[in-house]
């Protein structure tokens, strides 16, 4: 039976994925927040101790449950698409729980962006490792890794799932996304719940990772392997990405 045929009931695989994502996020929170200074809504610096972190984790869980109806999983056929939306749910949950705990929106954005990058960095490192072991050419590393990622988790069945046109241009690979399910989910939360900070946090976290991510994949000690003139979360009609074999100025 297809994912769509199951309606809103999560598949066993998605239920397992939810638990894995939850535990991954909670581990990142415990290590990340315990060792950093936060800023509250009055501009005062604060460091959370065990009781505050424990309360925050419970609040984050509750936020994830409350935001999940916005995800519209029944409209997404591909497991990878659902997995990325699940990650976006926890991004929104982490941000909202911080703000509701008295942390300033700017401080919350910085925390969420750093925690998210740590998780995304590990995913990219693991995915690109086989490619980096077999070739030292940065163009090949980028092209081959992006092709792998376009199979999973960024498989593109079309809207409301990922919709992308990918092509090679010289040694570069271009990926033009016109639909991004995580972005669509966060935008729904922002619009239906009157929470523009949720979308701004997404812009300042997810939508910034590909610049260092491309350099991580290329691993040639250079920076500037990525360009993106337009971004869906900024209201543009496309994320027109170029993964450049030759490093250029950002």
Is the distance from CB of 153 to CB of 83 less than 8 angstroms? yes
pLDDT given for residue 5 in this prediction? 38
pLDDT recorded at residue 7: 46
**pLDDT, tens digit (0-9, with 9 covering 90-100), for 64-122:** 999 999 999 999 999 999 999 999 999 999 999 999 999 999 999 999 999 999 999 99
Q: Indicate the pLDDT class of residue 248, thresholds 50, 70 and 90.
A: confident
Of all residues in the chain, what percent carry a pLDDT higher than 90? 94
Classify strands 226-227 and 239-243 as parallel, antiparallel or unpaired. Answer: antiparallel
> What pLDDT is stored for residue 10 in this prediction?
82
168, β-bridge pairs? 173
Is residue 80 within 8 A of residue 155, CB to CB? The reply is yes
Q: Across the strands, what pairs with 176?
A: 165, 240
Confidence at residue 8, expressed as pLDDT on a 0 to 100 scale? 61
> In angstroms, rounded to a whole number, what is the distance separating the alpha carbons of residues 157 and 151?
10
Do the bridges between strand 45-46 and strand 239-243 make them parallel or antiparallel, or are there none, so unpaired? Answer: unpaired
Residue 195 has pLDDT above 70, yes or no: yes
pLDDT tens-place string over residues 7-56: 467 889 999 999 999 999 999 999 999 999 999 999 999 999 999 999 99
- Torsions phi, psi for 105 (to 5 deg): -55, -40
| CB atoms near residue 107 (< 10 Å) | 20
Contact 166, 246 (CB under 8 A): no
Would you say residue 176 has pLDDT above 70? yes
Q: Is the pLDDT of residue 250 over 70?
A: no
- For the chain, percent of residues with pLDDT exceeding 70: 96
What does the pLDDT read at residue 6? 42
Rounded CA separation 183/199 (Å): 8
105 by Cβ neighbours in 10 Å (0-12 / 13-18 / 19+) ranks as middle
Phi, psi angles (nearest 5°) of residue 179: -145, 130
**Average pLDDT of the chain, as a whole number:** 95
Query: Mean pLDDT throughout 149-165?
Result: 98
DSSP state of 75: G
End-to-end Cα, the chain, rounded Å: 46
Total-model pTM: 0.93
Distance of alpha carbon 140 from alpha carbon 218, whole angstroms: 8
């Amino acid at each position: 039976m297809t994912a769509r045929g199951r309606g809103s009931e999560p598949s066993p695989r998605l239920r397992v994925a939810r638990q894995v994502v939850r535990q991954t996020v909670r581990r990142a929170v415990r290590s990340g927040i315990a060792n950093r200074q936060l800023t509250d809504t009055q501009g005062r610096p604060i460091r959370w101790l065990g009781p505050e972190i424990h309360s925050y984790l419970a609040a984050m869980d509750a936020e994830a449950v409350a935001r999940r109806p916005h995800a519209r999983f029944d409209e997404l056929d591909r497991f990878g698409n659902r997995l990325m939306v699940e990650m976006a749910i926890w991004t929104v949950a982490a941000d909202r729980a911080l703000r509701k705990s008295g942390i300033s929106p700017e401080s919350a954005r910085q925390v969420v962006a750093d925690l998210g990058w740590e998780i995304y960095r590990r995913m990219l490192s693991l995915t690109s490792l086989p490619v980096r072991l077999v070739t030292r050419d940065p163009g090949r590393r980028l092209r081959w890794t992006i092709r792998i990622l376009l199979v999973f988790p960024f498989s593109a069945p079309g809207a409301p799932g990922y919709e992308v046109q990918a092509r090679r241009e010289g040694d570069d690979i271009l990926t033009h996304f016109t639909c991004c399910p995580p972005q669509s989910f966060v935008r729904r939360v922002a619009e239906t719940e009157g929470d523009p900070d949720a979308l701004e946090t997404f812009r300042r976290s997810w939508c910034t990772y590909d610049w260092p991510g491309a350099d991580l994949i290329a691993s040639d000690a250079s920076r500037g392997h990525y360009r993106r003139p337009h971004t869906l979360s900024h209201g543009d009609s496309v994320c027109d990405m170029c993964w450049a074999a030759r490093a250029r100025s950002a």
